[in-house]
Amino acid sequence: MVDLTISLRQKLASLQRNLISATSILSHPPCLRLNPLALLSMPRSPTSSEDEMAQSFSDYSDDCASDSSREETIYETIRGTAEPSQNHMDDIHTNSLVIRVLIPDLQQTKCMRFNPDATVWIAKQRILCTLNQTLKDVLNYGLFQPASNGRDGKFLDEERLLREYPQPISKGVPCLEFRYKSRVYRQPNIDEKQIAKLHSKANLRKFMDFIQHNQVDKVGKMLERGLDPNYHDSDTGENPLTLAAQLDNAVEMIKVLKNGGAHLDFRAKDGMTSLHKAARSKNQVILMTLLELGASPDYKDSRGLTPLYHSVVVGGDPGCCELLLNQHASVCCQDENGWHEVHQACRHGNVQHLEHLLFYGAVMSAQNASGNTALHICALYNQFLLR
């Protein structure tokens, strides 16, 4: 028994020495010259390998989930990420913007304080957390600034700061509408009945077929007649822009859809924007086109994940990852289990993606919800990332 105790203590001491060695490696992350022997004997995280593997983000395996359960998950994600800290609340009161928010679909009006230096996405989350009724397809609701002083009405881009949208105060408290994103028609005297007839199931299906076969002229003509390209295909759940983002040689199609009223941050039924789709399809040309048209590299999907996060998960050519980082995409995005981009790069053995992430400021010592660093994930999945 004494010999067994001594043996266990020796093994424990060995594991501790290996952890110290691994920590010293983390202090020089750009080198990525990891010692496989240290990784193999490195102590595991506070969770078992089976639990950690089960928690890792892999793909959207909940495609078969009902719309109601998906909506519930979205609301839970929003509530979990939108709870303001006390310091944040103090900041809101000392540096705040008071806005009257109209919600036409619920026939409600709210007067709320917002931090002008926060993004529209955060303001949207705060509004959703105050609702006592559920909105369908809630992620495609947005803040709409009505027309005033000769300016057209428009939806606020979710990743821009509220401060960037000056509010008219000549009529008292400024007002924004919280409503479902749709095409904003610039033409006066729109025939609403004619527009409604244009949106038949047959026409909407035909429009998606035109996009699938890259028939730009026919798509353009339907848009000229007034079709709203912000809708979901009943079969695939894609919207016109997310479908086009996954196709080759669709640059002109993307431009026509954008000029025809498609919102760059309009999400498909699975919660992803066209940027997410382009990143997952490794479609660098389309990704660049969307960014040039004004899309933000930090758009969030229904899980709060960015296109950069998805590009690291799918791996392959790191061009999309490098492009997003070069366009100032934020790093250190986390999924529901606290996995950062570096965890995913190590889990999938994507060395070049990891190098780009580290160059643009990602931290190898970041821990997930289980307390695991990226180096723990390397050991867990036998990814040594040797260079």
Task: Examine the pLDDT at 140 and tell me if it is beyond 50.
Answer: yes
- Tell me whether residue 174 is in a domain: yes
**Where does the chain show beta strands of DSSP type E?**
97-103, 108-114, 141-145, 154-155, 175-180
Structure-derived torsion over alpha carbons of residues 333, 71, 237, 179, reported in degrees to the nearest 10: -90
Task: Give the angle 151-154-157 at the CA atoms, nearest 5°.
Answer: 130
Task: Examine the pLDDT at 290 and tell me if it is beyond 90.
Answer: yes
**Where does 181-236 show beta strands of DSSP type E?**
none
pLDDT in tens, 195-252: 999 999 999 999 999 999 999 999 999 999 999 999 999 999 999 999 999 999 999 9
Distance CA 157, CA 136 (A): 20
Answer for the pair 180, 137: CB distance below 8 angstroms, yes or no.
yes
Distance CA 266, CA 253 (A): 16
Task: Give the angle 11-12-13 at the CA atoms, nearest 5°.
Answer: 90
Task: Examine the pLDDT at 96 and tell me if it is beyond 90.
Answer: no
Helix and strand numbers, DSSP H then E, in the chain: 18, 5
Please give the span between the terminal C-alpha atoms of the chain, in angstroms, as a whole number: 44
Sheet holding 108-114, edge to edge: 108-114, 97-103, 175-180, 141-145, 154-155
Answer for the pair 156, 165: CB distance below 8 angstroms, yes or no.
yes
Give the burial class of 106: count Cβ atoms within 10 A of its Cβ; 0-12 exposed, 13-18 middle, 19 or more buried: middle
Structure tokens at 210: 């035109």
Domain, as residue range, for 129: 82-180
Structure tokens at 317: 């050519």
- Tell me whether residue 102 is in a domain: yes
CB atoms under 10 Å from CB of 200, counted, come to 10
Distance CA 227, CA 64 (A): 29
Among the listed ranges 59-73, 173-187, 297-311, which one has the minimum average pLDDT value? 59-73
Percent of the chain whose predicted confidence (pLDDT) is above 70: 74
Give the 3-state DSSP-derived string for 270-319, with helices as H, strands as E and coil as C: CCCCHHHHHHHCCCHHHHHHHHHCCCCCCCCCCCCCCHHHHHHHHCCCCH
Using DSSP bridges, classify how beta strands 175-180 and 97-103 pair: parallel, antiparallel or unpaired: parallel
Structure tokens at 83: 């709870």
Picking from 160, 224, 139, 221, the residue whose alpha carbon sits closest to that of residue 190 is 224
Q: What is the DSSP letter of 56?
A: S
pLDDT in tens, 316-340: 999 999 999 999 999 999 999 999 9
- Tell me whether residue 325 is in a domain: no
| Mean pLDDT across 275-281 | 97
CB atoms under 10 Å from CB of 35, counted, come to 15
- Tell me whether residue 72 is in a domain: no
Secondary structure class of 151 (helix, strand, coil): strand
Winning range, highest mean pLDDT, from 21-35, 50-64, 175-189, 238-252: 238-252
- Tell me whether residue 139 is in a domain: yes
Distance CA 3, CA 76 (A): 53
pLDDT in tens, 153-173: 999 999 999 999 987 766 678
Q: What is the structure's pLDDT at 53?
A: 60
Answer for the pair 342, 354: CB distance below 8 angstroms, yes or no.
yes
The verdict on pTM exceeding 0.85 is no
- Tell me whether residue 349 is in a domain: no
CATH code for position 106: 3.10.20.90
- Tell me whether residue 153 is in a domain: yes
Chain centroid to CA 336: how far?
A: 13
Place of tokens 């529901």: 336
Q: What is the structure's pLDDT at 383?
A: 81
Q: What is the DSSP letter of 372?
A: -
Distance CA 340, CA 143 (A): 29
- Tell me whether residue 154 is in a domain: yes
Q: What is the structure's pLDDT at 79?
A: 56
How many domains in the chain? Answer: 1
